[in-house]
Amino acid sequence: MWIFGYGSLLWYTDFPYRSVVPGIVRGYSRRFWQLSPDHRGTASSPGRTVTLVADENGSCWGLAYEVAEEQASDTIKYLDIRERAGYLREEVIFYPDSGSPLFPINVYLASEKENPYFTGPTDEESIVCTILRARGFSGTNIEYVLRLAECVHRMAPHVNDEHLFTIEKKVLDGCHQLNIKDDYLTKYLNQKHLSESFSKP
């Protein structure tokens, strides 16, 4: 069984897997159109997490995790709980970066019907305002955005995820303008500074 990770599964799996393959799914785009009432926010002040939305010309880069058959049932049970706030499991086609044969893969994406946490299209400024103040039991919403952006920058430098990187930049600008202190923000900025220093001739 294969599981597609495109959000927090890029850095936090918490389930056993045999192998991992980078690649894309086509016909979808990654968007911050899902509210988080638990992991990155609360019921009264939900944060924002990504989901995949249908997009005929879109694609989303992520990681395919191969789960052994004897562990598939337990993994699905775990992920069904982890992604309980409005996400459904569907099967899509995965295209490996290596060009090797494509294969079917399970993915969790937000239900657009009877899902109180799916917002649909939302302007980026509103999304960022939510992210800057939200915090859940898994950490700040700022941390979520920066971890996700860092993973894509580092693991897939060939990918230009315009929506994700725009949100990342606006979050960084907002943190600077509002003098927001965040533990992961400090770590992120230090890593970015080191990376830029090493890249200079």
Catalytic positions, please? 83
Residue in 185, 183, 86, 191 with CA at minimum distance from that of residue 145 = 185
The helix-helix angle for 162-178 and 124-133 (nearest 10°) equals 50
What is the phi/psi pair of residue 102, to 5°?
A: -70, 165
- The rounded distance, in Å, linking the Cα atoms of 21 and 122 is 31
Q: Are 84 and 67 in contact (CB under 8 A)?
A: no
